[in-house]
């Protein structure tokens, strides 16, 4: 018998030990008993972090949509697979059963095929949180096409960079999207992007807001009539365990986003297993993750993990503040949500509002509360626990990354005692390590260091699309034979982990990974800008906000700096998207640099966080004189 579902702490320790001592036996049992395979593997795991090369369930054959949909039909055909809750509460929610999901996915898959998409082709999906998003993801997987969902808040430039990087031949989008009171012209953004992406042959357009849009003949096609005419049966494509499932872009410390590639079998097994345990999902539960499917959280814990377990998963199109700050709680009451998974930034934003917004709704259905995306501060943790969970629903602070595919460190609710701000213990199969400045592993408890993982788990990303060397350098070169996460962490006296934040040039803003380099590249495109450096500073809702230090080519006393600030943020919005806008922009005469010309961000970070008591030795700088000047004019 496999240990698929952990029910108490003793069992956790037992299962964890087994998973570390005999990982292959552990994962093989789970894979064998809980999934449908067309052919079994010949080897459970082979790996070499020095190349790096990782293979799970080698030579097994399967299709993830057979596991997410078809195998549930005999027993759960009429069960709701997806609840779609629209942006406006005036529009009715939609309940899509497993039978209906099967039909929708098959039809969509046939439409893809009829429009020239074949196994291995890349398809970019740029859609709002409407059912077509989940359905198109699954339709790609059904025919072996590699989906790459781009969050529909990204700009046309960011979109075309991603299309070109993975050489997608098709884009799936909608006429527009609803976001609270606003509508967004998604198709217009796609049109602009495609001016820079001539490789795209077809654009499928879903109708959502009924806006007037232009359709380019020979390229753009309305989705609805195609779906109406498509057959509702579509055989699965038989995939190899290591065939690509999707590419998801994440920003890194250079300008170019990293297309993290996830493959089929390991990703499926790990996301399903972690979903079951971290949320303790029971058969009639309603589960809701508020993330967008454009992020990894949505891929793994709105679509694949829940559906693999035959769960009911809710997808919400709107925002927490529309029509008012009670919207989340109204949805919890309306659909009797049992597991609720959101981000600290949302919790902090809601905690600022009148608590009556929470108390006006019946939240008694809730059993588990989740948090993801950044460290959850104690105040937010306590508010969530008290007002939403009524101190009876454990909070699972889940730590993981786009690269990890699934949750690596998290409490198991009602099993692991929780502790505010701690992600607590590694899940089975995960062996964390903390590393010191000399690259040595730090043993024992009550220590802190840089967080690594010692061995591969099934859903680790296999490469960066088109750039294996960068994959190796980013994750496997800092420490020999270990996966480096880019995060710092501490281990307390009981062995619990607390993630302290990024240790590289990535800043987490409202739970979104922001590489500083792409933002600086965008700013530097302004004709008046000479140079720029971005650092983070604490923000009470976003967790971190962005502070830009900018030098201008010609300093003119009459420069309209407010106007320049607007233009800089406009450039960032165009190149990346509004989520990357700067909260503060300080124009400076020079940036502090080392003698080799590297910008000393450490000093800028201290200035931005108003922590200038101990700047360290600045005398070795190339230009120590600029530091005082920057401090004197700081916007803090
Ligand atoms: O710094 C960690 C932070 O988010 C980073 C990963 O971001 P992304 O790839 O966008 O994935 C976010 C959703 C999985 C991590 O390196 N992070 C994520 N979850 C937590 C966290 N930091 C602290 N606590 C968490 N629970």
Whether 423 lines ligand 1, by a CB cut-off of 6 Å, is: yes
Half-sphere exposure of 325 (CA within 13 A, CB side): 14
- Whose Cα sits closest to atom 12 in ligand 1? 373
Determine the Cα–Cα distance for residues 262 and 140; give it in Å rounded to an integer: 14
- Whose Cα sits closest to atom 21 in ligand 1? 374
Nearest to 4 by CA among 280, 350, 416: 280
pLDDT at 511 over 70: yes
Cα dist from 235 to 7, 37, 57, 65, whole Å: 37, 15, 23, 10
Write down the pLDDT at residue 636. Answer: 81
Q: How far is the CA of 284 from the centre of ligand 1 (A)?
A: 29
pLDDT digits (tens, 9 = 90+) for 462-482: 999 999 999 999 999 999 999
pLDDT at 555 over 90: no
User: Which CATH number does 100-236 carry?
Assistant: 3.40.50.980
Determine the Cα–Cα distance for residues 352 and 99; give it in Å rounded to an integer: 42
- Per the prediction, the chain carries an average pLDDT of 96
For the chain, the straight-line distance linking the first and the last C-alpha, in angstroms and rounded, comes to 59
Determine the Cα–Cα distance for residues 239 and 592; give it in Å rounded to an integer: 53
Asked if residue 184 lies in contact with residue 573, where contact means CB atoms within 8 angstroms, the answer is no
* Strand, coil or helix: 299: helix
Write down the pLDDT at residue 558. Answer: 61
Q: Which helix (H) or strand (E) holds 629?
A: helix 625-632
Paired strand residues for 502: 487
pLDDT digits (tens, 9 = 90+) for 608-633: 999 988 888 787 788 999 999 999 99
Choosing from 513, 544, 579, 580 the residue with most ligand 1 atoms within 8 A of its CB, the one to mutate for a pocket test is: 513
Q: How far is the CA of 566 from the centre of ligand 1 (A)?
A: 30
pLDDT at 92 over 90: yes
Determine the Cα–Cα distance for residues 101 and 235; give it in Å rounded to an integer: 15
* Strand, coil or helix: 277: helix
Determine the Cα–Cα distance for residues 485 and 504; give it in Å rounded to an integer: 10
User: Which CATH number does 506-632 carry?
Assistant: 3.30.300.30
Could you give the residue range(s) of every CATH 3.30.300.30 domain in the chain?
506-632
pLDDT at 559 over 80: no
Determine the Cα–Cα distance for residues 516 and 220; give it in Å rounded to an integer: 35
pLDDT at 303 over 90: yes
pLDDT digits (tens, 9 = 90+) for 338-354: 999 999 999 999 999 99
Q: How far is the CA of 70 from the centre of ligand 1 (A)?
A: 32
Whether 395 lines ligand 1, by a CB cut-off of 6 Å, is: no
Q: How far is the CA of 461 from the centre of ligand 1 (A)?
A: 15
| 78: exposed, middle or buried (Cβ count in 10 Å: 0-12, 13-18, 19+) | exposed
Residue 543: left (phi > 0), alpha (psi -120 to 50), or beta? left
Whether 309 lines ligand 1, by a CB cut-off of 6 Å, is: no
Confidence label for 184 from pLDDT (cuts 50, 70 and 90)? very high
Strands (E), 229-307: 239-240, 244-250, 258-263, 286-289
Determine the Cα–Cα distance for residues 183 and 362; give it in Å rounded to an integer: 30
| 50: exposed, middle or buried (Cβ count in 10 Å: 0-12, 13-18, 19+) | exposed
Asked if residue 5 lies in contact with residue 276, where contact means CB atoms within 8 angstroms, the answer is yes
Asked if residue 528 lies in contact with residue 553, where contact means CB atoms within 8 angstroms, the answer is yes
Whether 508 lines ligand 1, by a CB cut-off of 6 Å, is: yes
Determine the Cα–Cα distance for residues 597 and 621; give it in Å rounded to an integer: 9
Q: How far is the CA of 42 from the centre of ligand 1 (A)?
A: 34
Confidence label for 171 from pLDDT (cuts 50, 70 and 90)? very high
Nearest to 260 by CA among 204, 315, 300: 300
Q: How far is the CA of 57 from the centre of ligand 1 (A)?
A: 27
Q: How far is the CA of 373 from the centre of ligand 1 (A)?
A: 4
Angle, CA 374 vertex, CA 373 and CA 377 arms, to 5° = 135
Could you give the residue range(s) of every CATH 3.40.50.980 domain in the chain?
100-236
pLDDT at 229 over 80: yes
Write down the pLDDT at residue 557. Answer: 62
- Whose Cα sits closest to atom 3 in ligand 1? 374
Q: How far is the CA of 543 from the centre of ligand 1 (A)?
A: 12
Whether 487 lines ligand 1, by a CB cut-off of 6 Å, is: yes
pLDDT at 3 over 90: no
| Structure token pair of residue 500 | 């302290």
Whether 251 lines ligand 1, by a CB cut-off of 6 Å, is: no
Q: Which atom of ligand 1 is nearest to the CA of 423?
A: 26
Whether 292 lines ligand 1, by a CB cut-off of 6 Å, is: no
């Amino acid at each position: 018998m496999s240990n698929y579902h952990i029910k108490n702490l003793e069992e956790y320790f037992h299962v964890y030990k087994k998973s570390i001592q005999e990982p292959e036996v552990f994962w093989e049992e789970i894979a064998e008993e809980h999934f449908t395979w067309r052919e079994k593997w010949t080897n459970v795991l082979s790996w070499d972090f020095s190349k790096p090369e990782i293979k799970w369930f080698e030579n097994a054959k399967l299709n993830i949509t057979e596991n997410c949909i078809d195998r549930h039909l005999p027993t759960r055909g009429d069960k709701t697979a997806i609840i779609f809750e629209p942006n406006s509460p005036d529009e009715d929610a939609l309940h899509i059963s497993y039978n209906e999901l099967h039909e929708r996915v098959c039809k969509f898959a046939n439409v893809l095929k009829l429009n020239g998409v074949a196994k291995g082709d890349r398809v970019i999906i740029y859609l709002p949180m409407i059912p077509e998003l989940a359905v198109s993801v699954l339709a790609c997987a059904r025919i072996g096409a590699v989906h790459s969902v781009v969050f529909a808040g990204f700009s046309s430039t960011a979109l075309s960079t991603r299309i070109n990087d993975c050489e997608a031949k098709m884009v799936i989008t909608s006429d527009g999207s609803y976001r609270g009171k606003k509508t967004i012209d998604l198709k217009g953004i796609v049109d602009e992007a495609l001016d820079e992406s001539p490789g795209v042959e077809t654009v499928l357009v879903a109708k959502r807001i009924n806006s007037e849009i232009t359709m380019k003949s020979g390229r753009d096609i309305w989705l609805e009539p195609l779906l109406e005419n498509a057959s509702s049966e579509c055989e699965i494509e038989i995939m190899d365990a290591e065939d690509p499932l999707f590419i998801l872009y994440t920003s890194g410390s250079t300008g170019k986003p990293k297309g993290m590639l996830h493959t089929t079998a390991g990703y499926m097994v790990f996301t399903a297993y972690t979903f079951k345990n971290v949320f303790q999902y029971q058969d009639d539960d309603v589960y809701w993750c508020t993330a967008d499917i454009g992020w990894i959280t949505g891929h793994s814990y709105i679509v694949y993990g829940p559906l693999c377990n035959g769960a009911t998963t809710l997808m919400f199109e709107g925002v927490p503040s529309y029509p008012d700050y009670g919207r989340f709680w109204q949805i919890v009451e309306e659909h009797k949500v049992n597991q609720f998974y959101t981000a600290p930034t949302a919790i902090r934003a809601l905690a600022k509002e009148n608590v009556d917004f929470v108390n006006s709704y019946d939240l008694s259905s809730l059993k588990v509360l989740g948090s993801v995306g950044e460290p959850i501060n104690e105040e937010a943790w306590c508010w969530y626990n008290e007002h939403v969970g009524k101190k009876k629903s454990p909070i699972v602070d889940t730590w993981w990354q786009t690269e990890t595919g699934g949750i690596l460190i998290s409490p198991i609710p009602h099993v692991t005692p929780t502790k505010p701000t701690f992600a607590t213990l590694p899940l089975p199969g995960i062996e964390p390590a903390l590393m010191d400045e000399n690259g040595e592993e730090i043993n024992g408890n009550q220590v802190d260091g840089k967080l690594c993982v010692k061995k591969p788990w099934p859903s680790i990303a296999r490469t960066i699309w088109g750039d294996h060397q960068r994959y190796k350098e980013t994750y496997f070169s800092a420490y020999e034979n270990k996966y480096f996460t880019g995060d710092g962490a501490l281990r307390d006296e009981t062995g619990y982990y607390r993630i302290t934040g990024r240790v590289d040039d990535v800043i987490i803003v409202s739970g979104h990974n922001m590489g500083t380099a792409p933002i600086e590249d965008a700013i530097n495109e302004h004709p008046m800008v000479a140079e720029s450096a971005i650092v983070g500073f604490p923000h009470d809702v976003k967790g971190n906000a962005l502070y830009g230090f900018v030098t201008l080519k010609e300093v003119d006393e009459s420069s309209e700096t407010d106007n320049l600030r607007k233009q800089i943020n406009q450039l960032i919005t165009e190149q990346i998207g509004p989520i990357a806008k700067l909260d503060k922009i300080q124009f400076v005469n020079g940036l502090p640099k080392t003698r080799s010309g590297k910008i000393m961000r450490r000093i800028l970070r201290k200035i931005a966080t108003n922590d200038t008591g101990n700047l360290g030795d600045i005398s070795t700088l190339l230009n120590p004189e600029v530091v005082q000047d920057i401090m004197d004019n700081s916007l803090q």
